[in-house]
Amino acid sequence: MKTSILLTTTACGTFFLTALLSGIWKWRAMLASPEHQAPHYVDIGHRAALLYSFACLVIIHFLELSPLPEPLNVAAAAAPLLFFAIAIASYLVLGYLDHTDNQFSERTFATTTGMVLLAAAEVGGFGLLFVGFLVTQLA
């Protein structure tokens, strides 16, 4: 199996398991809460992990079709995967801390430069795979 696909499949499984486990956390918090709601960022972390696990499947599909050299495929996949993992971890930490305020209410490295890096990594990584696919189809 190609390294890029192995990396992305591992991330996919990790994110999906995180979604399942944080779903249990969310459910338990809803049972314990008088309002029957989980902490805001537990809910967001659960959903993000679930959605990112399926985003990994899209990346895997484009890796399978990619004409790019394997080192470039690894980099193109690793960039969004890293930021997916950082986002999930950040949400779950905020959920654990029961942070109820919007994390963007304060300007920090994470909410400014970090978001620029996230966008560049996610769009750039997937964009590279997508352009590689388009080039092979148009050739």
Distance CA(64)–CA(81), nearest Å, equals 16
| Contact call for residues 46 and 37 (beta carbons, < 8 A) | no
Residues 18-67 pLDDT 10s? 999 999 999 999 999 999 999 999 999 999 999 999 999 999 999 999 99
pLDDT of residue 99: 84
| Contact call for residues 24 and 95 (beta carbons, < 8 A) | no
pLDDT of residue 13: 98
Q: Looking up tokens 């989980």, which residue turns up?
A: 38
Q: Looking up tokens 């960039």, which residue turns up?
A: 79
Assessment of whether the complete model's pTM goes beyond 0.75: yes
Mean pLDDT within 86-92:
96
Domain extents in the chain: 3-138
pLDDT of residue 28: 96
